[in-house]
Amino acid sequence: MKKHAALVSLAGLALFSAGAAHAALDNTQAEALMKKDGCAACHSIDKKIVGPAYVDVAAKYKGDKNAQAMLAKKVKEGGVGVWGQIPMPPNSAVPQADIDNLVAWILTLKK
């Protein structure tokens, strides 16, 4: 009986984790999403292209508990001024789950 209850608990945990908004991406998965969603045209992990390097974004927002929500909104809606005067266009066609997962991954990067 205990074994069955443990299996049911583990199955529930797996389903909960699979549905989490911020699945942990590895670098390969993140780079694939960057290419699929067009982020790689302007951003790189470790060097500035048109927009900032993702490691610089992570450093700027390190320890900011509001960074995830703020950056996800910025990616979705676009913006200008934080990293210079070149605007980031809105990414309204990119699935919110992709944005949330990429932003969560970006915030884990270190220089």
pLDDT in tens, 24-76: 899 999 999 999 999 999 999 999 999 999 999 999 999 999 999 999 999 99
Domains and CATH numbers, the chain: 23-106 (1.10.760.10)
Cα 78 to chain centroid distance, Å, stands at 15
Three-class DSSP category at 1: coil
- For 6-26, the pLDDT digits (tens) are 433 333 333 333 344 566 899
pTM: 0.78
Distances (CA, A) of 2 to 9, 12, 15, 42, 100: 10, 15, 20, 53, 37
